[in-house]
Structure 1
């Protein structure tokens, strides 16, 4: 039976869409003209009124369309109109920019659409760096499972014995962290089915904007989470919580005696040659070429303002959403993972075993795309605002889709409300055309 897409979870833990509860984000989908309306005003500084002349908007649109026609082609020069149109659809729906990389039986296809920066006609770089958000969880889970493979810890071992300083419930195991079944409060806030909100660290909206350069320590995040009541008893339910993966980061450091960043470099990044990927730590600047994300808000005088938020500190998502990466690196990683190059077969099978209402394994969603499409393993991501990332793979790792989108965000997430439909079209163009075995 065909299943719906798993929820896209923002840094706050809110679901942009989902099978298991009604959407809590009701953002307006901005058309492409609405995005480019901000372009000219942004040239003067980081916060400017969201107003631009119609002639300027038209000029930006035309220049972007002309440049897109050249870049939306396969790496070997072959044009694939179905992919080109699926990518362009993001821009038509209001996203500022998008970059996508596809690997399948037809070869490699790389494309981008929209603009790298509002007010300019330059397209997004096809292998630029971006904030990868919760895709970080797949990397973190892989590190933990490598330690399990080495006998340093077991999946059903209580975590409290290794991190005694937090006084964790001794029923919480490594498996529960990786599957989101620990019940621990999500330190970026909890959103309940009845509409109740229990706030945590500011990770969305105007409050986040004013604190977007603040640095957090992982221990600080965990202690805030533990100061709140658990959502449920360990192992009795499933709830997506960043707290689980920040604890996994601390567990990695305790077991290895090295920092999370060092272990990531030693075990995954260096062996795979992922030179464009790194845990951000307290870094606030994306290195090298990159597309820009934005946030729109209303000031005290009632004026609409737009801020370039390509600079932000994602240490509030340590181990859970603090990765910087590229489409090439994400392809290499997810292909190697599903190709059996990073984990022994039994542990890879455990990682890819769907569990609970989210069909979540260990740092991976298991998604059935339906007849003639088969199963994909995936994780998407979004840091607090302005960026989204996607990573999909066939079971053998030979067919992948990786990408990043940018948009003019706001408290209601803006165009992100239409992300499900757009992403579904792109994914099905790759995995549902007889190219991938079920």
Structure 2
């Protein structure tokens, strides 16, 4: 039975107006809740929802910490062009997080994380399409698959096991030979001869437009937006009190969907939420001279390419660094240089550079959970670089939690208590 205190008609505040927060707002509004969204920025402008790759990566079911990751990570850290970056000064404070990250590579933990991500992924494209249709922006998503390109035969052969595992879990794909690669991705370097085409993959026309579209729909349907920075959350009688820069307000429930900023709010409540900033870099080129019809993942480079309304977006990588550290311009230069090798004839002039901090958990699984310390506080965060991929499905699970459903195995796998 739904919790009587948080039944439809109750007031729910959502902290965070990124794609996860906006999907949550739309889902709860549809259920009949009175929703208010808090964020110091306009929807989508303040975090990593603004300029991500635009992918719905439904076949990416594995956590980042794979078996043997420690050897791979050491190798990548010594390669200036590798997709993993950790500034030495920022490494030491993150040791507890990296230790939990390494623990995920244990066979049993890896399987549990893969099971949880597979559940989210099975529903992600369907739920995203349904959400965008409800918000009258269904034309902004298309599903034509994604090409995973490998540097050489050895790397390709090593990947076969993971593609077989995806297939066994219901995520179909097909091998692309050199002829098919040339046909599907004609503008990439012709040295690439090995690839897979994942069918369970979609992309949007422009990530920030998705967040704005969700926000516009939410406003039309009665969701209130307050451009305020939340300083603290606390319990007061039978309500949750939110303190923000210009005052405070009480709500029947609160959802913390503030990306990496969720960590400080959780700490103030006494919850342990191990997330760190996985910073991604990209460049968007308005006039690139390159046309690609489907998203491309250069699997050995940690680089993805997508054709968006704003231009060709090329980026990726993972830099685990403190939030206050400025973006490293050398990384932008490296991505631009590598991209010109991947796409001969690429024009990188007038490229727009962007870096965003993605909220990453050690097991790559988001936290969709009740607070362990305060009743009527919920979390929907920690999606790493899959916020757009899992936003709609996460919002549906959040609704189930708020309505009182806590016994679903899928919800238990996403609970914050797994870190205890």
Please give the TM-score of this superposition, normalised by the length of structure 1. Answer: 0.27
Structure 1 or 2: more helix by fraction: 2
